[in-house]
């Protein structure tokens, strides 16, 4: 696919497809880029997949991904944040940060 590819380190953990459905799909036991993003919203979704991928396998043909498009930590509902930067040491698990009213926070799973 023009512009982006998935390298052969992909472990088929599914994280990229969760963040960028329709842009990244599965073929032959790994992720593949189905098409380039068509607008800013899709570009943000693709870059969420790029910066969540535990093996950093989603790559632009031109070199490195634009670090300024790293969306993490990303706010979800009710103040919960998803950390991105998934770790290969947790099999690519998504990690979350939950701020508590007391001022402390709880992390569920750990990013890289
Ligand atoms: S997040 Fe990375 S390792 Fe996981 S399926 Fe997508 S490209 Fe492969």
Percentage of the chain lying above the pLDDT 70 cut: 98
Is the minimum distance from the CB of 92 to ligand 1 under 6 angstroms? yes
pLDDT in tens, 1-40: 459 999 999 999 999 999 999 999 999 999 999 999 999 9
Encoded tokens for 31: 């992720």
Q: Note if the bond before 50 is cis, omega within 30 degrees.
A: no
Ligand 1 atom nearest the C-alpha of 14 is 5
The residues, any chain, with a CB within 8 Å of residue 52's CB and separated by 6 or more, are: 15, 16, 19, 72, 84, 85, 86, 94
Query: Do the beta carbons of residue 93 and residue 86 sit within 8 Å?
Result: yes
- The residue contributing the CA closest to ligand 1 atom 4 is 13
Query: Rounded CA gap, 9 and 58, in Å?
Result: 10
Given the structure tokens 């998803």, which residue do they identify? 82
Distance (Å) from CA 56 to ligand 1 centroid: 8
Q: Residue 77's pLDDT band (boundaries 50, 70, 90)?
A: confident
CB of residue 54 inside a 6 A radius of ligand 1: yes
Q: Where are the domains of the chain?
A: 4-69, 74-108
Query: How far apart are the C-alpha atoms of 43 and 40, rounded to whole Å?
Result: 5
- The atom number, within ligand 1, closest to the CA of 52 reads 1
Does ligand 1 have an atom closer than 6 angstroms to the CB of 83?
no
Architecture of domain 4-69: 2-Layer Sandwich (3.30)
């Amino acid at each position: 696919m023009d512009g982006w590819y998935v390298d052969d380190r992909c472990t088929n953990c599914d994280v990229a497809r969760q963040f960028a459905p329709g842009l990244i799909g599965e073929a032959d036991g790994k992720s593949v880029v189905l098409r380039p993003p068509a607008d800013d919203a899709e570009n943000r979704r693709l870059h969420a997949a790029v910066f969540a991928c535990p093996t950093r396998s989603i790559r632009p043909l031109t070199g490195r991904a634009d670090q300024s498009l790293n969306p993490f930590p990303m706010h979800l509902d009710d103040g919960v944040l998803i950390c991105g930067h998934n770790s290969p040491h947790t099999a690519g698990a998504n990690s979350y940060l939950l701020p508590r009213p007391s001022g402390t926070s709880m992390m569920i799973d750990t990013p890289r």
